[in-house]
Amino acid sequence: MTVLDIPELALVALVGISGSGKSTFAGRHFASSQVLSSDAFRAMVADDENDQSASAEAFDALHYVAGKRLRAGRLTVVDATNLQPHARAALVRVAREHDVLPVAIVLDVPEALAWERTEARSDRTFGRQVLARMSRDLRRSYGQLAREGFRKVHVLRGTEEIEAAEIRYERLF
């Protein structure tokens, strides 16, 4: 079992390529109301969870809601790839604005497995090259995450480690 220590009030950023199992992980470990997913926000603002042209508006709304939750002292999980430094910087900023600790959980699965899963989905239509680019972004992310301001960076490598992970909440006071 891999125990992931997380402050009981935190902004948790899931980090991983498409098909790494972020939404599955979020659904298993957190209440649905705690999880803000980029897909859901794209659907909210553009009626289409895959409409990448709606990303800016979707994330704007997601950050707004995250801020509302953190202000109320509610643990919040961001289910998005979070592979780009600017995407993570926005989350660190929202957390800091509300005196909440930002934490990252990286799900790292082999690209081939992620592709196999993605290909099997009717709600994902992007090509192999897009996934390859995400993998490059993930590898680049490793050297950057800690100094971006994340209080903790938990890395789960491979399906077994992801499967065996348990969240343990740390009392803040």
- Number of C-alpha atoms within 13 angstroms, CB side, residue 69? 22
> Strand 10-15 relative to strand 76-79: parallel, antiparallel, unpaired?
parallel
Stretch that binds ligand CTP, among 4-12, 22-30, 60-68, 94-102 (CB under 6 A): 22-30
What one-character-per-residue DSSP string does 76-143 give? EEEES---SHHHHHHHHHHHHHTT-EEEEEEEE--HHHHHHHHHT-TT----HHHHHHHHHHHHHHHT
DSSP letter (8 states) at residue 11: E
Query: One symbol per residue from 106 to 145: x for binding ligand CTP (CB under 6 A), - otherwise; what is it?
Result: -----------x---x--x---------------------
Query: One symbol per residue from 54 to 83: x for binding ligand CTP (CB under 6 A), - otherwise; what is it?
Result: ---------------------------x--
Which token pair is 20? Answer: 């790494």
Size of the site for Mg ion (CB under 5 A): 2
Residues 3-32 contacting Mg ion, CB under 5 A = 22-23
Stretch that binds ligand CTP, among 19-27, 64-72, 94-102, 142-150 (CB under 6 A): 19-27
Binding site for ligand CTP (CB under 6 A): 16, 18-24, 81, 117, 121, 124, 159
